[in-house]
Structure 1
Amino acid sequence: MAVKNLSLLAAIALSGCAVFAPIEDMVTLDEQTQDTELSQNVDDGSTLASSVSFQKEFKKDELAIGTKLKQNNQNSQEHDINYYVRSLMQDLVANLQYVNSTTPVAIVSFVMLDSDYNDSNLLGIQIAESLIHEVHKFGIPVIDFKTTGFIRVTEQGDFAFSKDYEDFTGDMPARYIVGGTMLKHTDGYLINARIVGVKSQAVVASAQSFIPNSVSDPILMMSTSPKSSNRNENVQLGRVAFPLDFDSSLVTQKNEDLMNRSQPMDNIAKHSSSNNVSLIQE
């Protein structure tokens, strides 16, 4: 009997080792499997088959979103900017080529068609911001090139984005650009969107949409409203970091000019009172 119990305990111990001992090995194996799958998933984006399979993978989501858009159109006659950008994204996906889940894209501001392509407005900027969400939601990796790579901690807040090109590095792994043009009409804006290869400059997707004035005007009115600022006009030199070759006399001269422009209130009162006295005496 003792021999049987000993054999039973030995069997349980061995089975326990078989169950619990290889956990670390199993985790390592899972990591290796995941790395293998990721390496196999790398696609150079140069074949049409990759984008076709990518479209099939998200076809159900596309149909579901399209159905939801139709329902929203029936339930409400008024829509915001996101509604039109979402519809624009659906048209881009309908004829998308070469772009898939392994080809990162960058999204730029939409520019005015009748300009030198260096002029945009708040509507074009907001279209790009909304497209960041729509493209990412579709499953395409998006590169936010306005991220500086560091965080600026200030009294006004903590910031990681910038519009100063000197804050960015020259590296941008995006392989495609999402952008377009805008043309002002009497009733709104005609939007022309496209996805273009960075190196090939080939158009791999295109779409058109129309944003009515009822949607664009409130956005553009915000850009013309005065912006409030909490910054003081006089800046203390001890709290500002200037470059080594900066001429501090320029700032000193500027502060003196500001002081000369602003007269003390007591001097103003004296001048006004003396003028009043002279008028009474006359």
Structure 2
Amino acid sequence: MLVLAGCAHLPSWQEDAEEGQIVAEEPLLQHTEQIANKLFASLAPIEYGNLAVVSFTELESLALSKANHSLNMLGLQLQESMLSVSTQRGFNVVEIRAANQVQLFKDHERLLSRDSADISKDIDVRYMVVGTLLQGNQMTTVNARLLDLREGTVIAAVSDNVPNSVIGLNANQIQMKHNKLYRSSL
């Protein structure tokens, strides 16, 4: 009984969640790890070399979307999952966002940065995981590739679809009109 009673109490962050807040219906991590595992599943042995992963970006612009925060979060989560799975698979993964020194702030400290002035220029990377995202009405297509930068070749590639419900979007929020994607808030 005590065990069941302990499960009935919600963590404070969950109790404070706004009513009507969009919450993903399925676990995003499950889908991103599935894509990462597919990318590395049939990979033939490769020569030794450092591997890095960059953010997955919107297909048309090859940049983060200025108007679609959910798509950007999917791209960043895919990057993080690829880093994790690559490390677990034994690759020598290099964190390209690592600054030269820890930055101390009043309320936190940080080593990761996106400011090129903070980042080491001496990063030796042979392999790179890159990817693109294309959002449709029901699904977002994820295209991931493992590149050999020295040879200029794609050595592994995968495409998969992630339901938009996973990234906090539902079909009522997304519509295609005149071959353009329109989002609306509920």
> Quick check: TM above 0.5?
yes
Structure 1 residue 122 displacement after superposition: 1.7
**TM-score, L = length of structure 1:** 0.46
Structure 1 residue 211 displacement after superposition: 0.8
Residue in structure 1 matched with residue 35 of structure 2 by the alignment: 88
Contact in 2 for aligned 1:188/1:216 (Cα 8 Å) = no
**Aligned pair count?**
139
More strand by share: 2
State the alpha-carbon separation in 2 of the partners of residues 193 and 165 from structure 1: 25
Residue in structure 2 matched with residue 107 of structure 1 by the alignment: 53
SS at match of 2:93: coil
Structure 1 residue 98 displacement after superposition: 4.7
Q: Structure 2: give runs of 5+ residues left out of the alignment.
A: 1-24, 66-71, 170-186
RMSD of aligned Cα (Å): 1.7
Match of residue 153, structure 1, among 104, 112, 125: 104
Identity rate, percent = 27
User: Quick one: which amino acid aligns to residue 27 of structure 2?
Assistant: D
More helix by share: 1
* Greater mean deviation of Cα atoms: 169-178 or 187-196: 169-178
Where in structure 1 do 4 or more consecutive aligned residues deviate above 3 Å? 97-100
Contact in 2 for aligned 1:98/1:204 (Cα 8 Å) = no
User: Quick one: which amino acid aligns to residue 168 of structure 1?
Assistant: I
Residue in structure 1 matched with residue 6 of structure 2 by the alignment: none
User: Quick one: which amino acid aligns to residue 202 of structure 1?
Assistant: T
User: Quick one: which amino acid aligns to residue 176 of structure 1?
Assistant: Y
Matches within 5 A, 1:107-146: 107-115=53-61, 117-120=62-65, 121-146=72-97
The verdict on how the C-alpha distance between 1:138 and 1:79 changes in structure 2, with shifts beyond 3 A counting, is farther
1:45-101 CA-partner distances (Å, limit 9, x unpaired)? xxxxxxxxxxxxxxxxxxxxxxxxxxxxxxxxx64111112211222123324536x
Query: Which structure has the higher relative contact order (CA within 8 Å, separation 6+)?
Result: 2
State the alpha-carbon separation in 1 of the partners of residues 117 and 146 from structure 2: 26
Q: Structure 1: give runs of 5+ residues left out of the alignment.
A: 1-77, 219-282
State the alpha-carbon separation in 2 of the partners of residues 112 and 81 from structure 1: 18
Q: Which has the larger radius of gyration?
A: 1
SS at match of 1:130: helix
**TM-score, L = length of structure 2:** 0.69
